[in-house]
Every structure is written in structure tokens, then in C-alpha cells.
Structure 1
Amino acid sequence: MPARGGEFFGEELLCDLGAADAAHELFTPTHFGRLAGSCYLSLGRFDKAEQFLQDTASRMQGRHKSRAIVLGNLALTAIRRGDLDAGLAVFDDAVDELQGTRGGGGMNIVFRAARELRPWRAENAVQEAQDRLLALMEAA
């Protein structure tokens, strides 16, 4: 993102898109949070990722495909931090979102989260969460 006076202004710049901008129709108010959360997750900056992803997920009611992606990334954030309880709670929310859409992007991320639960595979709660995901695929 370009810097202005040493500060990043990416979100402000995106929010200033006008109807004359060719990409105006493609931008939604949650785009920046989705992208920033995903980037911070990739960088291993879990606190920042969690902040952006939680805020974005709370503002995405009714957008099931996109929300499943955000929740999948939020589950990955908790799992990579080693917080199994938080990871499983968000994982279950992501699977709930996928039940109606089975969106490919969300499905990929949630399966990645399921793979990253391997260190806890002996835990009953992990087995149940993974069984829910497999049942979702079976119903497809």
C-alpha cells in the first residue's frame, strides 16, 4: 500500500472509490479486513490477523461464502497460535457457513484448518469437528 507522510492509507483509499471508478462495483466494505487479516495470518502476525478477521466476520452477516473464508482464516489463526478451544469454536462456525453454500474457497481453507488440527487428533473435540466436516462432504 502506498504511504502518505509515513502512514499507510490503503483502507481510506479504497473507501474513497467513487462510482466513476471501474472497480467500484467489485469493492465491498469488508474487502480490506478480509485481505489484511489474510495477509497478517500469512505473516504469522496472529494478533493483528485475529483483530481484522473478527471485525470483518461480525460485519458479514448474510454473505455465507465470503464469511466461511474469513472464519476459516480465523480458525487457522487460533490453531497456529495453539489455542485449540478458540480454533474449534470458529472451525464449527465456518462449517455451519459452508453447509448452505459449499463454497470452494471456504472449503479449501476449512480443510487446511482440519489438517492443522493433527497435533490434537486424539482429542474427542477434534475428532467430532473433523467428522462434521466429512459429513458435510458426504451430504454433497
Structure 2
Amino acid sequence: MGKGLPICWVFTTSAAIEPIQSVVQWLRDSTGIVPLSFMSDCALAIRNGIKSVYSDIRKRAPKLYWCIFHVLKAFKGRAQFYVQEQLRAEALANFWDVLYYQRNPEAKLQVFYRKWLIVSTSLVDYVQSQ
């Protein structure tokens, strides 16, 4: 990944789309700037808020990246519900491999899906929905 300069941090007590959308819309309207990217935790409301504000510019819309710390934290949390205890460390290690695989992460992700679909369809469904 390249380097970036944060231009804004947003803290909200709500996990709803509306507060995020309002802040992102204000940022766009008040500056006229279209950022190249946003980085956030794994909140779908953030993704949806950003997408709605920039939906009119399609391919020029900012990219959305998720913080790896939060991605791994969310994965661990879901693995507690969806994977037997003795397999959780292996699931996390396999997911970690996907995140850090540099050649073809999409192919690595497909391998992850095939392996873990046998163990937990709920875990695979969760990863795919994100």
C-alpha cells in the first residue's frame, strides 16, 4: 500500500448510516474534494454512507479500506460463534494468510472458502458478506 495523509477523523456513538453519511456529505460539500480513499473499521454503515455520498461519480468514487486490526478483531469475534474452539487458531491463521498474501489474495481467499465451508458455512457466509 502507498502512503496517505488523514484529513478527517470521525467519532460517533451511533452505528447507523445517517451520522456517517452527514459527515461525509459535509466533507464533500464544504471542500469539494473527492478523497482517493477512506479507511475505517468494519462497520457496514460506514461503507454504505460513503457509497451513498459518492454514488454519482461511480468509478471515481473513493476506495474504502478496512483497518486490518479491526478486520482481525471482527473475524476473531465471529470465529468464537461459528468455529469449534480447537479449530479457531487454525481459522485465524488461515485468514491471516489471506490478508497478507501478496501474489493473488483472491485465489487464496477461494482456498480459504473451500476449506472452511466444510467446517462452518456461517463463518464463510460472514466473510463473504463483508
* TM-score scaled by length of structure 2: 0.30
- Structure with the largest fraction of helix: 1
* TM-score scaled by length of structure 1: 0.29
